[in-house]
Homo-oligomer: A and B are copies of this chain.
Amino acid sequence: MIEERISRLKEAMKREGIDVYYLNTSDYHMSEYVPSYFRTICYFSGFSGSLATLLVSLEEACIFVDGRYHVQADRECLEHGIKVMKLGTKDTPDPIGYLKEHFKGKVIGLDGRRTSMKFAKALVREGFRIRSVDIYSELIEDRPPLENAPIYELEEKYTGLSRKKKIAMISYCLGERVHVVNNLESIAYLLNLRSSDIVHTPVFLSYLAILEGEVYLFADVNRFDGELLDRLYDDGVIIRPYESFYDFLKLIRNRQILIDENKVNYETYLALKGRGNRIYNMRSIIEDMKAIKNPIEQKNLRLAHIYDGVAVLRFLMWLEDVDKSTVSEFDAAKKIDELRLTYKAEDLSFGSIVAYNENAAQMHYYPAKDRAVMLDNKGILLFDTGGQYKEGTSDITRTVALGEVSEEIRMYYTLVLKSLFNLCSVKFMEGMSGSQLDILARKDLWERGVDYRCGTGHGVGYMLSVHESPPNIRYGHTEAGTELAAFKPGMVCSDEPGVYFEGKYGIRLENMILCRKDECNEYGQFLSFETLTMAPFDRRLIDLNYLDEKTIASVNEYHKTVYETLLPYLNEEEAAFLRKACEKL
């Protein structure tokens, strides 16, 4: 069946004069997670994972997947005659490398709406000829429709700023310049609108263009109720059909246009270029504004983290009581999800990760029902979970003992805990970036020759995506370079060092921290962090031999704050449990 689908794709390629067709897992908006409408790679390859690239030439079809999908791709694709390219293994090229090797100067077909401007331009620079054409959609049978749940307003008591004010501020910054946005989070933020097009991320499919003080929103008008349409109209938002976006762009001429080549698709670029337009690549000013949470958002966020802390506390209590040998990782995930959703959360902020012992060493482990293992009264359990609240988005990781644990685990737990506090306790000079702070969270692990192969912290949205940037705390370099963006008061970020020992265990601890102004003196403005997350660390896993006085004081102070902050929201039994969990070290 898959073979036949690929044959039909090849026929279409021949018809269009295409040598290789490029299919990926992106949507039209370069989103991290995508609506089900965009799960098209599965149709042509059988691959059901979330990230892959499929290259189909007249000779062969290759699927490129990263480490977490090597086994799965073999299982799902080999039988259909698709070659599996395992990224990260020796001598395996990435898609561009493969194309350079086999198709130098040839015609590459792709859907320009699903390819970033940056990637497509890189292909052009390498000498490929690109044809942006959708030849696959007409071949797909029974494709799920685009989402069309109602779009609703997030009230000003949550957003802290009216849509009108946000638009005025952005328009002031833009002046005469045009700004075109594909990114769904930026649009939802600017317009104080939400929906549910992407699982756990309350955005809606749309494009946006700001032009001469007018805001054009390209979205399905049937998704708004009449009152909301009136309010949008009053605020100067003009709604146009989602499909009419590219035709609209083709009317813009002789303008300076700001777009972010990392977050805008190639089709957008093609529709804008020429006609006297000058295109400037820069991070969207909406994104910069969104990253800095305003005072109302900050106040709400503190409340969201109290709600979240209560749910996490109840999960810890359940975990303490339950007969561990009767529950699986999947059951535990279901439990914490239920505790969040029946308390205050609108939704989860991502699929809960609950990982026992060696499973926690896999950074992208997800406890699918069919592979989740049973727990036991020993070892450690990592859970990385979060909720969407109208008061903000949470993301928290705790690792807890289910019974006996080794001295080694306690040592590493303690070092990870120290690393977390090394970062969040820092007082630093305004202007510094995540790239400059990262070492604080790693140095104690590096001293022992251990590292974690991921960033230390990512920005978090407000009732939006659980991953946003800036900020971005990491020592390596990313394409977008957000790790070099300066921290600003009001930015929210995760602080999540860890250790991952393959086949043995994984430990990660994660708090969310809010950047705030600290002392200002003759040396300049200092910044520091306030911790938002309100949940105890597992005292049983702390080995005081590896903790200095300063960190001990920090842990005690944090636990005191957690206890005092959550107390008014707890019943007696919960309060007693938390009191014990927060006892002084």
A449:B519 contact, CB within 8 angstroms: yes
* A216 sits at the interface (CB 8 A): no
In the complex where A436-B438, A439-B440, A449-B519 touch, is A475 in contact with B429 (Cβ < 8 A)? yes
In the complex where A519-B449, A523-B451, A526-B449 touch, is A443 in contact with B429 (Cβ < 8 A)? no
> Which residues from 467 to 508 on chain A have a C-beta closer than 8 Å to any C-beta of chain B?
475-476
In the complex where A429-B451, A475-B432 touch, is A443 in contact with B443 (Cβ < 8 A)? no
A447:B429 contact, CB within 8 angstroms: no
Q: Which residues of B contact A550 (CB under 8 A)?
A: 548
When chains A and B are docked, how far (Å) is the Cα of A440 from the Cα of B440? 8
Known: A429-B446, A451-B524. 11 other contacts (CB 8 A): A426-B446, A427-B447, A429-B451, A431-B475, A431-B476, A436-B439, A437-B439, A446-B526, A449-B523, A453-B523, A548-B550
Q: Which residues of B contact A524 (CB under 8 A)?
A: 451
When chains A and B are docked, how far (Å) is the Cα of A449 from the Cα of B440? 18
When chains A and B are docked, how far (Å) is the Cα of A446 from the Cα of B523? 10
Q: Which residues of B contact A435 (CB under 8 A)?
A: 435-436
* A450 sits at the interface (CB 8 A): yes
* A428 sits at the interface (CB 8 A): yes
Q: Which residues of B contact A438 (CB under 8 A)?
A: 436
Instruction: List 29 A-B pairs, Cβ < 8 Å.
Output: A426-B439, A426-B443, A426-B446, A427-B443, A427-B446, A427-B449, A428-B439, A428-B446, A429-B446, A429-B451, A429-B475, A431-B475, A432-B475, A435-B436, A436-B436, A436-B438, A436-B439, A436-B475, A439-B439, A440-B443, A446-B526, A449-B519, A449-B521, A449-B523, A449-B526, A451-B524, A548-B548, A548-B549, A548-B550
Main secondary structure of the interface of A (DSSP, over half): mixed
Q: Which residues of B contact A440 (CB under 8 A)?
A: 439, 443
Q: Which residues of B contact A476 (CB under 8 A)?
A: 431
Contact of A443 among B428, B447, B519, B521 (CB under 8 A): B428
Produce 1/0 per residue, A507-541, CB < 8 A to B: 00000000000010101101000000000000000
Q: Which residues of B contact A442 (CB under 8 A)?
A: 429
Q: Nearest Cβ distance between residue A5 and chain B, in whole angstroms?
A: 40
Q: Nearest Cβ distance between residue A300 and chain B, in whole angstroms?
A: 30
When chains A and B are docked, how far (Å) is the Cα of A443 from the Cα of B548? 16
> Which residues from 108 to 126 on chain A have a C-beta closer than 8 Å to any C-beta of chain B?
none
Q: Which residues of B contact A428 (CB under 8 A)?
A: 439, 443, 446
Q: Which residues of B contact A437 (CB under 8 A)?
A: 439
When chains A and B are docked, how far (Å) is the Cα of A219 from the Cα of B493? 57
Q: Which residues of B contact A451 (CB under 8 A)?
A: 429, 523-524
When chains A and B are docked, how far (Å) is the Cα of A453 from the Cα of B451? 32
Q: Which residues of B contact A426 (CB under 8 A)?
A: 439, 443, 446
When chains A and B are docked, how far (Å) is the Cα of A82 from the Cα of B519? 40
When chains A and B are docked, how far (Å) is the Cα of A550 from the Cα of B548? 9
When chains A and B are docked, how far (Å) is the Cα of A435 from the Cα of B475? 11
Contact of A432 among B431, B439, B447, B519 (CB under 8 A): B439
Q: Which residues of B contact A431 (CB under 8 A)?
A: 475-476
When chains A and B are docked, how far (Å) is the Cα of A547 from the Cα of B451? 27
In the complex where A439-B440, A440-B439, A475-B432 touch, is A450 in contact with B523 (Cβ < 8 A)? yes
When chains A and B are docked, how far (Å) is the Cα of A193 from the Cα of B428? 44
Q: Which residues of B contact A549 (CB under 8 A)?
A: 548
Q: Nearest Cβ distance between residue A498 and chain B, in whole angstroms?
A: 13
Q: Nearest Cβ distance between residue A65 and chain B, in whole angstroms?
A: 21
When chains A and B are docked, how far (Å) is the Cα of A451 from the Cα of B446? 26
Q: Nearest Cβ distance between residue A409 and chain B, in whole angstroms?
A: 19
Nearest 3 pairs of A and B residues by beta carbon = A451-B523, A449-B519, A427-B446
Q: Nearest Cβ distance between residue A349 and chain B, in whole angstroms?
A: 29
Q: Nearest Cβ distance between residue A447 and chain B, in whole angstroms?
A: 5
Q: Nearest Cβ distance between residue A487 and chain B, in whole angstroms?
A: 12
Q: Nearest Cβ distance between residue A473 and chain B, in whole angstroms?
A: 11
When chains A and B are docked, how far (Å) is the Cα of A475 from the Cα of B550? 25
Q: Nearest Cβ distance between residue A521 and chain B, in whole angstroms?
A: 6
When chains A and B are docked, how far (Å) is the Cα of A451 from the Cα of B429? 9
Produce 1/0 per residue, A51-84, CB < 8 A to B: 0000000000000000000000000000000000
Q: Which residues of B contact A427 (CB under 8 A)?
A: 443, 446-447, 449
Q: Nearest Cβ distance between residue A297 and chain B, in whole angstroms?
A: 27
> Which residues from 409 to 449 on chain A have a C-beta closer than 8 Å to any C-beta of chain B?
426-429, 431-432, 435-440, 442-443, 446-447, 449
When chains A and B are docked, how far (Å) is the Cα of A356 from the Cα of B450? 45
> Which residues from 534 to 579 on chain A have a C-beta closer than 8 Å to any C-beta of chain B?
548-550
When chains A and B are docked, how far (Å) is the Cα of A446 from the Cα of B550? 15
